[in-house]
């Protein structure tokens, strides 16, 4: 229980797995959270001391219970990366109220539920990292992001509110805006004509997350965006 504990919330095959590997390499014991624990079990087996937890971030009881277990098994987290963030595509006429709510619940409500579980110990320690993985949609509502953009905007606003109240207590709250198509077998199959320079590599994104977590506190950054060099923006 003496190594620092890192938590990745929302571990899929792309950014989530890369974040888990990157923070594990800094010597952290990792807790890997996902709705189903198939992939996370496999990944945990490759990272020293890591454990997988099934958790539905949209359900505050599930969050509460998962973190209670996690704390008792691994100790208080020192770094949490909130990577949960599915989204439905569609304009205001085609999305349902349910999709609008689910999007918000996964991106914003869950972000608060998770944060509340880890803030008290971080505050007592006078240090800690809470990193949100955001999206360009957080800055602007597009015609087809009537459900996703408001959810990400709420998440970004919450992150900023948290940064401004928690930084003075030594907790580095930050936000990484991913403005890219992630390089995955699935996305490559779907866009076979795009060049390498079009895709963001999860490991490269994760390197920026680790850097944020290690910034000296006289010069902290709240928000960065990451984007492939060949991308139009």
Exposure class string for 175-208: b at 16+ Cβ within 10 A, else e: bbbbbbbbbbeebeeeeeeeeeebbbbbeebbeb
- Binding residues for its own copies restricted to 108-147, rule: CB under 8 A: 108-109, 112-113, 115-116, 119, 137-138, 140-146
Sole window of 30-38, 48-56, 79-87, 208-216 interacting with its own copies (rule: CB under 8 A): 208-216
**Would you give the distance in Å from CA 225 to the centre of its chain?**
14
| Token pair listed for 70 | 């996690």
Of 128, 146, 129, the closest CA to residue 137 belongs to 146
- Are 146 and 92 contacting, i.e. CB atoms less than 8 angstroms apart? yes
- Are 16 and 82 contacting, i.e. CB atoms less than 8 angstroms apart? no
- Binding residues for its own copies restricted to 68-107, rule: CB under 8 A: 91-93, 97, 100-101, 104
CB of 112 to its own copies, least distance (A): 6
**Would you give the distance in Å from CA 117 to the centre of its chain?**
15
- In the list 160, 184, 187, 194, the residue contacting its own copies (rule: CB under 8 A) is 160
15 vs 29, beta carbon nearer its own copies: 15
- In the list 28, 34, 158, 213, the residue contacting its own copies (rule: CB under 8 A) is 158
- Are 142 and 98 contacting, i.e. CB atoms less than 8 angstroms apart? no
The number of residues in the chain equals 233
CB of 43 to its own copies, least distance (A): 21
33 vs 163, beta carbon nearer its own copies: 163
- Are 54 and 84 contacting, i.e. CB atoms less than 8 angstroms apart? no
Residue 44 interacts with its own copies (CB under 8 A): yes or no:
no
- Are 119 and 166 contacting, i.e. CB atoms less than 8 angstroms apart? yes
- In the list 12, 62, 172, 213, the residue contacting its own copies (rule: CB under 8 A) is 172
- In the list 70, 76, 199, 213, the residue contacting its own copies (rule: CB under 8 A) is 199
40 vs 104, beta carbon nearer its own copies: 104
Residue 193 interacts with its own copies (CB under 8 A): yes or no:
no
**Would you give the distance in Å from CA 141 to the centre of its chain?**
21
Residue 215 interacts with its own copies (CB under 8 A): yes or no:
yes
Residue 220 interacts with its own copies (CB under 8 A): yes or no:
yes
# of chain residues touching its own copies (CB under 8 A): 77
CB of 216 to its own copies, least distance (A): 4
41 vs 179, beta carbon nearer its own copies: 179
Beta-bridge partner residues of 175: 132, 223
């Amino acid at each position: 229980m003496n190594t620092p504990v890192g938590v990745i919330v929302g571990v899929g095959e792309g950014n989530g797995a890369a974040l888990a590997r990157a923070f594990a390499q800094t010597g952290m014991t990792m807790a890997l959270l996902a709705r189903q624990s198939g992939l996370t079990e496999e990944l945990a087996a490759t990272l020293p001391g890591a454990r997988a937890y099934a958790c539905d971030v949209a359900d505050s009881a599930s969050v509460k219970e998962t973190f209670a277990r996690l704390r008792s098994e691994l100790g208080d987290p020192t770094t949490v990366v909130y990577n949960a963030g599915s989204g439905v595509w569609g304009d205001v006429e085609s999305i349902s109220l349910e999709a609008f709510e689910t999007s918000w619940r996964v991106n914003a409500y869950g972000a608060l539920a998770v944060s509340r579980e880890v803030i008290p110990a971080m505050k007592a320690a006078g240090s800690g990292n809470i990193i949100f993985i955001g999206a360009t949609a957080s800055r602007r509502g597009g015609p087809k992001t009537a459900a996703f953009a408001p959810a990400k905007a709420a998440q970004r606003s919450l992150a900023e509110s948290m940064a401004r109240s928690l930084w003075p207590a030594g907790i580095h709250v930050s936000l990484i805006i991913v403005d890219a198509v992630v390089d995955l077998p699935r996305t490559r199959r779907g866009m076979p004509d795009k060049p390498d320079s079009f895709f963001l590599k999860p490991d490269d994104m994760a390197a920026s997350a680790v850097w944020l977590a290690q910034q000296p506190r006289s010069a902290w950054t709240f928000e960065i965006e990451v984007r492939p060099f060949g991308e139009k923006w």
